[in-house]
Chain A
Amino acid sequence: MTELTIKQLVVARGGIPVVRGIDLTVRSGEISVVLGSNGAGKTTSLEGISGIIPAKGSILLDGEDISGQAAGIRARKGLRHVEQGRTVFPDMTTEENLKVALAPGASLEEAYGLFPELVQRRDIKSAMLSGGEQQMLVIARALVGRPKVILIDEMSSGLAPVIVSRLMEAVRKLADGGMAVLLVEQFANLALGVGNRAYVLRRGAVVYNGGCEALLKDPARLHHLYLGDVADSVAMHA
């Protein structure tokens, strides 16, 4: 049983505080969905959690505060950050991308089991894969590292809805297999459909914290949280 608990996370980008003290929790077997429009601080939060940029506040992985550690050490302790923009190693084949991330005892079959689509693309340079396939590859690459927690940033951006659905289903499978997943998304509905807990960010602060289902059933509220009028959403948070 793994639990990642974030408390009072503050992250600045180029001197500007973009994330202004947020609390998040994610547990094994669950997907915590972080929503919000662009510029709300979603990506920056993930970068603070994984150690790409320095952050203030505490980041507890199974009770241990990892907030002062380098990104590489956090990764080796079981945190995997699937960055925005499908960061495949472009000159390497699909299989090489997976091999390089393989944890001792893990096998490529785990990756191909989750995404059978990748099998026939195994010897193709990852730069030549389609956007959807690249997204599958980076998720699979994180998986074969046998992490405890996986952070996924904006996997849907620029992808057709049918592929996004396919990815969501795979992420749900990951969680069902016991992984803790923190899923950052701009597209609310699909993410809420597979998630357990939801957070909505606006200008670096959490303006909604509750179950996914409740938010999914209340589109008017979601509309407010996204497209303003912000007065309601602030009240809601209070």
Chain B
Amino acid sequence: MNSLLTSAVAGLSAGGAYAILGVCAIFTYRLVAVVNFTGAAIGATGTFIMVALYESGVPLSLAVPVGILAGALAALAVGLVMATWFSGAAASTKAAVTAALLVGIIAVGLRLTGGQHPHNFPDLIPGSAFRLAGVEVTWAAVVTIAISVVFTFVTEQFLARTQTGLELRALSQRPMAAELIGIRVKLLALSVWAVMGAVTAFALMVIAPQRAPDFMSLSLLVVPALAAALIGAFASFRAALAGGMAIGIIEGLASGLDTFSQYRGAIPFLVILAVLMWSQRGARFDEAR
């Protein structure tokens, strides 16, 4: 029992990462109506630019903001592609486009970062915060979870209370009606992308030292991220937050059991399958067609 708890706690850090990526996925879907497969890859871009700067001697206090900015710019580039050519496209076409873009981003990323070549990832937030069930809970895990909670809370408040938040909600509920009352739809959409890129980049910087830190592995965090977003039905930030944490903890539990530890990578898939089978049980036709 105690060892199970230990394993569960060990999954907290991953859970925090999945949560924030899941929340970002919903953020993008709700506000600009794109199921984004490039989310984690965009974050990875920012992260690796930070690492490159750090490795060439730039102090972290500068490298981190530049990396975050790079994440925002990468997201902006993807957003520009989506807003320019695919603003009126079907949701599944948009998703397909981001899947294709993911291929390109990973290829460029692997090329520039030297594939599996190990990098010197700085621990942005080093050290252990406290012990729980005999396991060190790192500050990185605590901060990741904190970021995801804060981002969820700030986003909810921003949408509820500011004029820009109102415009974003209008845009997400009825894009055409929003455009017809003169809201600057494209500008808003691009800002959403930029914010998403910045947040993802920072989140990945914090957790990268705990993951297999190559560009591809970080980019493929999109799978648990989308699983978390599905738990939130691509609508509820809080459910995605909880869902991401849950996936991390289940993964942690699985790694504690010898027979399953090798297969823990399959857990997001099983979660996705279960969530979809449950949530779509009543659906018959594709609503859009």
Contact = CB atoms under 8 A, between A and B. Distances in A.
- A–B in direct contact per CB < 8 Å: yes
Interface of A: 50, 52, 70-72, 75-76, 80-81, 83, 87, 89-92, 96, 99-101, 141-142, 145
A91 B169 contact: yes
B180 interface: yes
B174 A71 contact: no
B177 A89 contact: yes
23 contacts: A50-B180, A70-B179, A71-B176, A72-B182, A72-B184, A75-B179, A75-B181, A76-B182, A80-B180, A89-B174, A91-B169, A91-B173, A92-B166, A92-B173, A96-B169, A99-B166, A100-B163, A100-B167, A100-B181, A101-B181, A141-B181, A142-B181, A145-B181
Interface of B: 163, 166-167, 169-170, 173-174, 176-186
B177 A83 contact: yes
Given A89-B169, A92-B166, A100 B177 contact: no
A145 B174 CA distance: 17
Contacts of A70: 179
| From A52, A72, A91, A99, residue with most partner B Cβ within 10 Å | A72
Given A72-B185, A99-B163, A89 B180 contact: no
B88 to A, nearest CB: 11
A52 B176 contact: yes
Given A72-B182, A81-B180, 11 more contacts: A52-B176, A80-B181, A83-B176, A89-B169, A89-B170, A89-B174, A92-B173, A100-B163, A141-B181, A142-B181, A145-B181
A50 B176 CA distance: 11
Given A99-B163, A99-B166, A100-B166, A83 B183 contact: no
Contacts of A92: 166, 169-170, 173
Contacts of A99: 163, 166
B21 to A, nearest CB: 25
A99 B160 CA distance: 12
B77 to A, nearest CB: 22
A91 B160 CA distance: 11
B183 A100 contact: yes
Given A89-B174, A90-B173, A96 B166 contact: yes
A71 B163 contact: no
